[in-house]
């Protein structure tokens, strides 16, 4: 990919290196990343957010492995480093450098309102570190360094993209047009895939109950078992509506994986029990995930190729990011070296 130039829109998104992503990450984000990559109207830029991962305590060797696994898994999902700019956050120091500056244009009050901060500080009460609090400023740096127009994310990240917009507007209002103002893009269906065991919670790999999530590395048998155990209700009717969160969640999964509308799914399963319905959902998910899993198994063995890809990605990304960082340094009044 060439350096992003005029006219084409820049899209940027990132994911934390949990290594094994969930079906939620895939349907809410990764699937859309590939669509943008294949659309000529966009420059697609993607990053593995390993610096964000440090806001929760990590085992160093595991973080290293997971970062590489995440890189391979995203390629297995269809991201091609020849078509997209695809790199690892810590390899482009401009992210951390820009984040410091943006921290100084971010208010304590607005950071305190972030739902993710509230949730994570409740969950990790013994480690409410400053990084967890200022996480959105680093995320703003990620986005703003690439003069991003659109940020495709799942529903849970919308608030962070909005604060990035506010920070960009604030900076621009002091210094002139330094940053493009990004827009979040949330998918209509799939933006919030829920837990299979408690459909009031989002599907998350940090859930203690392994039956609550599907991993992209799960075997076909595991996928079938997990969907069979998925919580529904006692009505035995496949309908998308309030009060039927379990069934509605499974319908969303079926809709995003097959392209069928909710009406089509309702008609198809009229008068049938949940057994048939759950099997259909599991089969649709397997059809989507099995090729990804096979490609991942192939790629993860080829460490030299992966290294070549992320090295190139870091070089290209640094060029773009340093251009914006240079502007920021000049505007805030740093004495150049």
Residues in touch with ligand TYM (CB under 6 A) = 12-16, 24-25, 28-29, 49, 52, 139, 142-143, 151, 153-154, 156-157, 160, 191-193, 202-203
Catalytic status, residue 225: no
Q: Which of 197, 199, 187 is nearest to 243 (CA)?
A: 199
CB 157 to ligand TYM: min, Å:
4
Min dist. Cβ of residue 284 to ligand TYM (A): 16
Nearer to ligand TYM, 192 or 268 (CB): 192
Q: How far is the CB of 92 from ligand TYM (least distance, A)?
A: 12
Q: Is 319 a catalytic site residue?
A: no
| Nearer of residues 8 and 192 to ligand TYM, judged by Cβ | 192
Nearest approach in angstroms of CB 89 to ligand TYM is 8
Nearer to ligand TYM, 143 or 302 (CB): 143
Q: Please pick, among 31, 202, 244, 316, the residue that the annotation labels catalytic.
A: 202
**What is each CA distance from 216 to 64, 292, 303, 308, in whole angstroms?**
19, 8, 20, 24
Asked if 202 is an active-site residue, the reply is yes
Token pair 């390993």 in the structure block, residue: 50
- In the chain, beta strands by DSSP E: 9-15, 42-48, 85-88, 150-153, 183-186
Q: How far apart are CA 172 and CA 162, in angstroms?
A: 15
Query: Looking at beta carbons only, is 121 or 237 nearer to ligand TYM?
Result: 121
Judged by DSSP in three states, 266 sits in helix
Which string of DSSP letters, residue by residue, matches 160-207?
HHHHHHHHHHHHHHHHSS-S---EEEE-SSSSSPBPSS-TTSB--TT-
Pairing of strands 183-186, 85-88: unpaired
Catalytic residue among 8, 9, 205, 228: 205
* Residue closer to ligand TYM (CB basis): 74 or 280: 74
Residues 6+ apart with CB under 8 A from 256: 27, 31, 187, 189, 190
Residue 14 φ/ψ, nearest 5 degrees = -150, 165
Q: Measured from the CB of residue 159, what is the shortest distance to ligand TYM in angstroms?
A: 10
Residue nearest to ligand TYM (CB): 28
Residues annotated as catalytic are 120, 202, 205
């Amino acid at each position: 990919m060439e350096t992003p130039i005029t006219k084409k829109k820049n899209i940027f998104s990132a994911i934390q290196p949990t290594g094994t992503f969930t079906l939620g990450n895939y349907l809410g984000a990764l699937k859309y990343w590939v669509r943008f990559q294949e659309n000529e109207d966009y420059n697609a830029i993607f990053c593995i957010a390993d610096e964000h991962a440090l806001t929760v305590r990590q085992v160093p060797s595991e973080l290293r492995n997971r970062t590489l696994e995440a890189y391979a898994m995203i390629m297995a999902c269809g991201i091609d480093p020849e078509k997209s700019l695809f790199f690892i956050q810590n390899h482009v120091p401009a992210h951390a450098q820009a984040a410091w500056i943006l921290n100084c244009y971010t208010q304590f009050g607005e950071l305190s309102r972030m739902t993710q901060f509230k949730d994570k500080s409740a969950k990790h009460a013994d480690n409410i570190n400053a990084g967890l609090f200022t996480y959105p400023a680093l995320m703003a740096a990620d986005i703003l360094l690439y003069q991003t127009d659109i940020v495709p994310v799942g529903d849970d990240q919308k608030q962070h993209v909005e604060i990035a917009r506010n920070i960009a507007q604030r900076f621009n209002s002091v210094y002139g047009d330094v940053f493009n103002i990004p827009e979040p893009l949330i998918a209509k269906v799939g933006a919030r895939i829920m837990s299979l065991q408690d459909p009031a919670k989002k599907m998350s790999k940090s859930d203690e109950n392994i039956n609550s999530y599907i991993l992209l590395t799960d075997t076909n048998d595991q996928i079938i078992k997990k969907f069979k155990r998925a919580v529904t209700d006692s009505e035995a009717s496949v309908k998308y509506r309030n009060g039927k969160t379990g069934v509605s969640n499974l319908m969303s999964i079926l809709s995003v994986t097959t392209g069928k509308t909710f009406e089509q799914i309702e008609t198809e399963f009229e008068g049938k029990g949940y057994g048939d319905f759950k099997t259909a959902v599991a089969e649709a998910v397997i059809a989507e995930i099995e090729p990804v899993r096979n490609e991942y198994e192939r790629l993860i063995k080829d460490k030299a190729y992966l290294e070549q890809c992320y090295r190139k990605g870091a070089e290209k990304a640094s060029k773009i990011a340093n251009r914006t960082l240079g502007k920021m340094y000049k505007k805030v009044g740093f004495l150049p070296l």
